[in-house]
Amino acid sequence: MTEDMMNSTPIITEEEVLSGALEHDADGTLPEFPAELPVLPVRDIVVFNYMILPLFVGREKSIQAVDAALNGSRYMMITTQKDEGTENPSPEDLHTTGTVVMIMRMLKMPDGRLKVLVQGVSRAKVERFTSTDPYLMAEVNGLEEIEIEEVSVETEAMMRAVREQSEEILSLRGVATSEIMSVLNTVHDPGRLADLIAANLRMKVPDAQSILECNDPLERLDLVNKQLQKESEVANVQARIQSMAREGMDKAQRDYYLREQLKAIRTELGEGEGAEEEAEELAEALNKAGLPKDVRKEATKQLRRLTSMHPESSEASVVRSYLEWLSELPWKKLSRDRLDILKAQEILDEDHYGLEKVKDRILEYLSVRKLNPKSKGPILCFAGPPGVGKTSLGRSIARSLGRKFQRISLGGMRDEAEIRGHRRTYVGAMPGRIIQTMKLMGTRNPVIMLDEIDKLGSDFRGDPSSALLEVLDPEQNSNFSDHYLNVPFDLSKVMFICTANQLDTIPGPLRDRMEIIQIPGYTMQEKTRIARRYLLPRQAEENGLKKDEVTIADSVLSKIIQEYTREAGLRSLEREIGSVCRKLARQKAEGTAGPYKVTAKTLQKLLGIPRFIDEEKDTETIPGVAQGLAWTPYGGVILNIEVTLMKGKGKLTLTGQLGDVMKESAQAALSYARANAEELNIDADFLDKHDIHIHVPAGATPKDGPSAGVTLLIALISALTGKPVNQDLCMTGEITLRGRVLPVGGIKEKILAGVARGLHHVCIPKQNEKDLEDVPADLLKKIDVHTASHIKDIIPLAFTNK
């Protein structure tokens, strides 16, 4: 057809096919036509010999070519364009092999186009184009058919196969085949049969053109046979698809009919339409939830059970709640991580002062996540005294990652079901705190802080710490099983952060799954800077004051820290600053204009008398008194250990609420003194003449630990020799029976306590020298640190007037 053709399928009646076939059978010679003919280009069809079809002609050159043919011999040459998108084809854009047709009828359309009915009379080849304007003219040479003198058995078999395949294709398309097959059965020439069938096949232009250009009738029939086989396969597949679609539609209609019946039955039973709508809403919510395959199977099972229950039954309520939990959990929802390391560092520095090692570890974690998104994140545990910023660090991590943050307090938790949930058989069953948090967050990768993990308990209801083993194990938590859900839930994308004040109470297996990051207390300078940068502006704003209305000098802040707080963290300091701001807010409310400057003189009026006053150093040193260093969950403290001798028979008395370990250290110190009495210039039989009383003041406070061993021995030696201990020296370390000094923990906190007391010398075990890297340099400038591996290294430092 031409470029303006309405339908690319040949429009041909059975009578026209029959008449055309019979006409050519009656006259086997090639019809005579002029050697030079007008050329009509067509776009999307190949015209075959014996083919009768209408053409719609719209291009000006094509209309003139049709007019020239009608005014002449009524013959014209039809060739197919190589590219159907070409609007004004030139000779190079046309195939040279085409078909000479005779124009049988012509009709002018109202829009100026022509509708012509043509019949193919001969395959022909363009020898050369003689003119391109006003229309295409070409010298045409008709291609004579190769005559088949005798049809062989193979050829006859192929012709029968071609007829049978044509009949099969027509029947698959739902076309009546009797009259068409009667026409095909009258054609006994292989070439004509091939052309007649090819004219009515739905072929692509390149395939049809290759058949037209084939001059050998047998080869042409073979090409048509291959096209019929291909078309047969396509028709079979199409019929099978239509059959499947029809079966699916029949099943859908049947299901709809049964569903309507079920709805009517439920209405008669008084269950109403609400239950049906609710079940449909649940089904839709479950479809949108993105459930894993196994979970989807369980949800479908429970939904089927729900639809068969009475909506008012208690079991239906349990199943309904269960399905709602499944549909509301974030099975596939993930928040996008903000893996910008420099931005994360900026956020951490903005939220927290100091804590460099902690920040470095967090940035390392983010860097690994950026380079390997599939890596299993560690379980970080921030351990340190209260108020040092453990929980706020978790919030900063979530903010730097761009994730949601939620805190779960584990303090005092004793029921395992708080972690794993209750079985659905129990009345009022609920999922555990972990699954509840995941539902609340709405994403599968939030930051969850497990606060106070060292304060977990256990009783007859189970051990929560054992339940946490699966939650915090990266190898297991991808299939965490909550008792309520009873299906696996993936927790591997969650970043868990734990906090603890002390590590001794954390069970070993649970502690093994965590990476411990120690957060010690702050120095005086760090507290002052934090108060200036964070605490004072925050408390001023919370109490209705502007930031520039309150002025507190660093010296006043230091006075608040020293005289009104005694802690490693910052909570009491923030409370005292808040108290100052409240007093100033009252002045402002009463009409006193600002700004308000807090000085050392006005501080006592605002906060009252100081709560903590450091003990003054003894001007007169007394034998038997030594200053030891101890670690507590609230930071380091100074312990004044006192030893006194009395006449007696060697009785040892220990007072001051001492624990078993501290009592053992006192026994070890006494044994070392007796074993080395001569070397220490002590009377060898001192136990036969004296009773010994060792006392550690602040008896209402329980004290325990091995780090007082060195101090106990030095105080005992001082009492036995009558030599006073240097009161500018504090010490720590565990003692053995041979006098070796073993390493202890909490070095930074202990040195902080020594500096806060105003001491200038501290003695620590030699093996703790590596821990000095954690101590700020400005702190080490205020105190001389001495190391000792044996008690002999400490004695010269202890018994001197320096």
Mark 472-496 as b/e (b = at least 16 C-beta within 10 Å).
bbeeebeebebbbbebebbbbbbbb
Nearest in space to 25 (alpha carbons), one of 48, 46, 50:
50
What values do phi and psi take at 45, rounded to 5? Answer: -150, 150
**331-to-282, 291, 449, 534, 552 alpha-carbon distances in Å:** 16, 6, 20, 39, 52
Please list the helix, strand and coil fractions of the chain in percent, rounded to the nearest 5, in that order: 45, 20, 35
Report residue 127 as tokens.
């020898």
Nearest in space to 200 (alpha carbons), one of 367, 328, 406, 50:
50
CB 40 within 8 A of CB 2: yes
624: left (phi over 0), alpha (psi -120 to 50) or beta: left
Q: In what order do the strands lie in the sheet with 515-518?
A: 405-409, 447-451, 495-500, 380-383, 515-518
Our answer to whether residue 707 is catalytic in this structure is: yes
Report residue 3 as tokens.
């470029």
Our answer to whether residue 617 is catalytic in this structure is: no
Q: Return the sign of the alpha-carbon dihedral for residues 589, 590, 592, 596.
A: negative
Beta strand pairing call for 635-647 and 625-632? antiparallel
DSSP label of 564: H
Tokens 């092999």, residue located: 97
Residue 25: Cβ within 10 Å count: 14
Radius of gyration of the chain (CA): 50
d(CA 98, CA 122): 9
What values do phi and psi take at 715, rounded to 5? Answer: -65, -40
Nearest in space to 353 (alpha carbons), one of 585, 129, 522, 556:
522
d(CA 229, CA 753): 96
List 527, 707, 718, 748, catalytic entry:
707
DSSP label of 725: P
CA atoms within 13 Å, Cβ hemisphere of 220? 25
d(CA 462, CA 428): 19
**211-to-2, 78, 206, 207, 763 alpha-carbon distances in Å:** 20, 16, 9, 7, 104
Residue 167: Cβ within 10 Å count: 16
CB 462 within 8 A of CB 469: no
- Residues shown for the chain: 802
Alpha helices in 173-270 (DSSP H): 178-186, 190-199, 205-213, 217-269
Report residue 526 as tokens.
């760090």
Alpha helices in 479-535 (DSSP H): 508-512, 524-530
List 750, 770, 782, 789, catalytic entry:
750
C-alpha torsion 104→110→113→115, nearest 10: -20
d(CA 667, CA 671): 6
d(CA 628, CA 708): 6
CB 483 within 8 A of CB 423: yes
C-alpha torsion 137→138→144→145, nearest 10: -70
Report residue 236 as tokens.
């079979």
d(CA 353, CA 356): 8
Measure the N-to-C terminal CA separation of the chain; round to a whole number of Å. 116
- By annotation, the residues acting in catalysis are 707, 750
